[in-house]
Structure 1
Amino acid sequence: MEIFWFIPSHGDGRYLGTTEGARTVDYDYIRQIAQAADRLGYHGVLVPTGKACEDAWVAASSLIPATQRLKFLVAIRPGLMSPSTAARMASTFDRLSKGRLLVNVVTGGDPHELAGDGIFLSHQERYEQTDEFLTIWRRLMQGEEVTSSGKYLRTEASEVLFPALQKPYPPLYFGGSSPAAQQIAADHVDYYLTWGEPPAEVAEKIAQVRQQAEAAGRTVKFGIRLHVIVRETEQEAWEAADRLISHLDDKIIAEAQQILGRYDSVGQKRMSALHNGDRASLIISPNLWAGIGLVRGGAGTALVGDPVTVAERIKEYAELGIESFIFSGYPHLEEAYRTAELLFPLLPLTQQDEPNPSLTIQASGELIAYNKRPKSGNDLEAEGGNYGLAQQTVT
């Protein structure tokens, strides 16, 4: 499996719904997160898009020289950019990053935000436009000169003169729960993404998209977008979840749910229906908690628990066919480390192409009395107990 992390260009902090414990999300901070993810062995990072975020392409481009292996999942927006412009941007980014671009196709789900960007299409029309957009974009990225006249888009002798490194083009990721969105996934993309719904609901969506893709003569892979709250014990994890939403009152939740209720996104409606704004009904499946969705749009669920339990829940999704896991946690810098340290040893991760030799040195921990290496977790298990200075005989 491939594990991604998240660049919180729309804000970060220790709590939701308050300025207490909030972080200033500037370039230095997102660079810290990207470099941590790169060093820890995450496959890539999702760079979000929308009016609440810093521009995804500018932010991701600024992080290319700050990282070595990390891949960037960056959005193209049908309706906000032409297929040829998006193709040139993708090709340039892929070349300059030496093949580290992944493309996230975002049709959009908030009519109010879309209207602010000059888009006045219905839900169905937006997906029809996305279909035309991706048809042109994929042909351009494969070196074709494209002349096309559709309902929404028209091009004459369009071409990309400087191709991307990845062939036939950087992998396409796409999410959407409506029938129209699932058909787009079946016809065009490499990875179909779902938000963190209970496993049975995820399995149903995977089966639907897989069947449609087979009918189109294609194969689609699958990914999931989730938050993670993992601690050394189950109790600590649930206490951390409670603290994360401890500043939310009924008024804040109601205001957030009113805003999210205007979305015509089927996926957002499914997310909201998991809790219906009720903080007493947040555990929706074993270790799957919907508290973040009380005030956050999009991904609103988190896997909560101790490392072994959370790893088992991740593997349950993997058994359904999920290969890419896009995680996040608050605050994102510390949680990038915590997630890697507690979960990575328990998961069958895709090996990075160029291992970072410094990791094996730093993983030894602080020397005991400046002279002796601490024992590893495997050593402790072999001895059948914990290892600590307090347990040693003083000589």
Structure 2
Amino acid sequence: MSIEFIGIAATQPVSETGGGPAAPSVSSQSEAHAAQGAVIQPAYLRELALAHERSGFDRVLVAHSSASPDGFTVADQVLSHTTRLGVLLAHRPGFVSPTLAARKFATLDAFHPGRVALHVITGGDDADQARDGDLSDKPTRYRRTDEFLDVVRRTWTATEPFDYEGDFYQVRGGRSAVLPARPIPVYFGGASDDAVRAGAKHADVYAFWGEPLAGIADRIRQVRAAAAVHGRTPNFSVSLRPVPAATETEAWRRAEDILRLTKERAGALRKAFNLDHSTQEGSRRLLDVAARGDVHDKRLWTAVAKATGAAGNSTALVGSYEQVAESLLDYTRLGVGTLLIRGFSPLEDARDYGALVDLVRAETEARGFTGNRVPPVAPAQAGSRDLLGAVGA
């Protein structure tokens, strides 16, 4: 199994920095929207998808919020305009019945075989859930997600009508005329104990935000232990924001520009997207790391996470292409098989990241990387050796 790279799909240029280092400052919600243009820009989405495919990415994430364009439509556009690139389609359980959701994913997969994956995001922002009519609390949402995935997997595999009796879902004679030719991978995100209990049971790939190596090692150990109860061995993903350049000095100069632009736009972007990450365990963990310093390990940079309140994937790796690739490889030595990387200038960075993809993939293939299991090779430095022992790799 080769290392997997996932980028980002978007229907308009959206970034903490306004889409590019030369973009004008944004000072209000209306200006934030105006600076990005129309919400749906078909040509931009097509070019972004093609840039990822040309750079060697395996998939792009189609993200979700209560205000987002319909993800199934966006995913179909990405798949129709590319020949190899896959999609990781985010979906919130609770708004579409699991039997219908299963058929929607299976139908998309039938048109684009083997290129569709499900990313389960249960929802950490109560206010954003409420905008779509869901007033349940987080523990309830994770219990519902557990049942949702029970029914989805049953729908994908049942060749005869089936019944299901749960607290949230009841099915009588459920069946789907379209079944995936091969299993659709299930990715799962969430940092709370409730998330781990549900995700460890169902996830093929458990996704983490970009914490220091020690934190990822702890999280891998936690999820592995919870998954073992169900006889499962999930793979792992880490999400990061690389800031590479020809030299380390140039990369840090670029990082300073990114931070300056982010601080100028932070308030306006929070209003524009109307999201609150303050109650999410993943955001809390990133903010705790940021409070301890701006740089961790070799070059994990947390200043943007601090400036944005750790609104999602917001920790970066700063350095030369070779240095950033080295840091990405450190995560793979812990057993991480998927790297979700996106830039602060999404289209330009998707084009540029081909160099990182090539460097990391060449090294992991040279040492016989096997995805979920770490190959028996000496790690790059003593710090990584200690962490490998911590996760039992």
Shift of 1:135: 0.6
Q: Name which of 137, 150, 157 aligns with 2:152.
A: 137
Residue 286 (structure 1) aligns with: 298
TM-score, with normalisation over the residues of structure 2?
0.81
TM-score, with normalisation over the residues of structure 1?
0.81
Is the contact made by 2:119 and 2:186 (CA closer than 8 Å) also made in structure 1?
yes
Residue 50 (structure 1) aligns with: 65
Q: Name which of 141, 165, 168 aligns with 1:149.
A: 165
Give unpaired runs (5+ residues) of structure 1.
352-395
Separation in 1, partners of 2:59, 2:114: 12
Matched, 1:68 2:83: yes
Give the counterpart letter for 1:159 in structure 2. R
Number of positions where the alignment pairs a residue of Structure 1 with one of Structure 2: 345
Separation in 2, partners of 1:260, 1:187: 28
Q: Secondary structure at the match of 2:333?
A: helix
Q: Secondary structure at the match of 1:157?
A: strand
Identity fraction in percent: 31
Residue 179 (structure 2) aligns with: 163
Separation in 1, partners of 2:277, 2:341: 26
Q: Name which of 2, 5, 12 aligns with 2:4.
A: 2
Separation in 2, partners of 1:251, 1:329: 16
Q: Secondary structure at the match of 1:64?
A: helix
Shift of 1:54: 2.3
Q: Name which of 4, 14, 18 aligns with 2:20.
A: 14
Q: 1:70 to 1:318 in 2, by over 3 A?
A: same
Separation in 2, partners of 1:347, 1:182: 29
Separation in 1, partners of 2:143, 2:270: 30
Shift of 1:165: 2.5
Q: 1:73 to 1:310 in 2, by over 3 A?
A: same
Q: 1:86 to 1:290 in 2, by over 3 A?
A: same
Per-residue CA deviations over 1:165-214 (Å, capped at 9, x if unaligned) read 22xx2100001111111122221110000000011000000011111212
Shift of 1:9: 3.9
Give the counterpart letter for 2:303 in structure 1. G
Shift of 1:127: 0.4
Q: 1:8 to 1:88 in 2, by over 3 A?
A: same
Per-residue CA deviations over 1:288-331 (Å, capped at 9, x if unaligned) read 11233222621111111101111111111001110000110021
Q: 1:300 to 1:39 in 2, by over 3 A?
A: same
Q: Name which of 197, 211, 215 aligns with 1:197.
A: 211
Is the contact made by 1:103 and 1:173 (CA closer than 8 Å) also made in structure 2?
yes
Give the counterpart letter for 2:315 in structure 1. T
Separation in 2, partners of 1:350, 1:81: 39
Is the contact made by 1:271 and 1:298 (CA closer than 8 Å) also made in structure 2?
no
Matched, 1:272 2:284: no
Query: Which range moved further: 329-338 or 263-272?
Result: 263-272
Matched, 1:123 2:129: no
Shift of 1:65: 1.7
Tell me how large the CA RMSD over aligned residues is. 2.6
Give the counterpart letter for 2:346 in structure 1. H
The 5-angstrom pairing of residues 201-280 of structure 1 reads 201-249=215-263, 252=266, 256=270, 263-275=278-290
Give the counterpart letter for 1:50 in structure 2. S
Give the counterpart letter for 1:148 in structure 2. Y
Give unpaired runs (5+ residues) of structure 2.
366-393
Residue 350 (structure 2) aligns with: 336
Separation in 1, partners of 2:146, 2:253: 45
Give the counterpart letter for 2:205 in structure 1. Y
Q: 1:229 to 1:287 in 2, by over 3 A?
A: same
User: Highest relative contact order (Cα 8 Å, sep 6+), 1 or 2?
Assistant: 2
Residue 98 (structure 1) aligns with: 113
Matched, 1:85 2:100: yes
Give the counterpart letter for 1:6 in structure 2. I
Separation in 2, partners of 1:50, 1:349: 36
Larger radius of gyration: 1
Matched, 1:33 2:34: no
Separation in 2, partners of 1:241, 1:220: 34
Separation in 1, partners of 2:167, 2:151: 13
Give the counterpart letter for 2:158 in structure 1. G
Give the counterpart letter for 2:280 in structure 1. S
Query: Which range moved further: 247-256 or 116-125?
Result: 247-256
Separation in 2, partners of 1:62, 1:80: 23
Residue 192 (structure 2) aligns with: 178
Matched, 1:322 2:336: yes
Shift of 1:215: 2.1
Q: 1:343 to 1:149 in 2, by over 3 A?
A: closer
